[in-house]
Amino acid sequence: MNPETSMETATPYAPVALEFWYEFGSNYSYLSVMRVKELAEQYGVPIVWKPFLLGPIFKSFGWESSPFVLQKEKGAYVWQDMARECVKYNLPWKCPTSFPRSALLPMRVALLGADKPWIVDYNKRMMQVNFVEDLDIDNEEIVSKVLTELGLPASQLIAEAQSEDNKRRLRAQTETARQRGIFGAPTFFVDGTLFWGNDRLQDALIFAAGLKILPLD
């Protein structure tokens, strides 16, 4: 077999869902959130939205912040890379003046909406607020404004998001992410197989769409 497996050497199987694990404070999640719906539709793959918190994941590694902050050289590279990637994908971009931003409230709201029709538009707007408008997203006024723009009952949803039950659910979802080996965002699961990073989004969708790549000889 050719050492680089091609689409011609793939084995067809039934399409499955793409689990999309993301965080509003994650810059590379921004790139995927803004593109995944249209790409998934092209491949006929349903999306299962999995909001979680990166902070507890990083703390489990002994990190107090993002590795892009802890390692100066990596951080400098990332902002150059983000500018290039946004040009490639034709996405607006403004380097955040604060990073990583806390996203606790908007992620709690995302958990409420994970299986609702408004989740895609909500996710995109929250990412734009962070990485295009450069505003504090862990802010009740901002979250309320976004929900109102989408024609949603902002006060009701924020109250539900701040309930003890929903807080527990987000903690539990984040712990599930840790137990499943998630170490960053975005992360995608397809039938139990992990793909990490925005640059693996299309690979994950191809896999989910019915082209399971054969192992190398």
pLDDT at residue 210, rounded to an integer: 84
pLDDT at residue 4, rounded to an integer: 39
H or E element in which residue 18 lies:
strand 18-22
pLDDT in tens, 143-198: 999 999 999 999 999 999 999 999 999 999 999 999 999 999 999 999 999 999 99
For residue 26, indicate whether it is catalytic: yes
pLDDT at residue 70, rounded to an integer: 60
pLDDT at residue 101, rounded to an integer: 93
pLDDT at residue 214, rounded to an integer: 43
The residue annotated as part of the active site, out of 26, 29, 32, 66, is 26
Distance CA 211, CA 148 (A): 41
Which parts of the chain sit beneath pLDDT 70? 1-14, 65, 67, 69-70, 75, 211-217
Tokens of residue 57, six digits? 């994941």
CB atoms within 10 A of CB 141: 10
Concatenating the DSSP letter of every residue in 28-46 gives HHHHHHTTHHHHHHHHT--
Q: Tell me the domain boundaries of the chain.
A: 7-212
Distance CA 158, CA 213 (A): 43
Assign domain 7-212 to its CATH superfamily. Glutaredoxin (3.40.30.10)
pLDDT at residue 212, rounded to an integer: 55
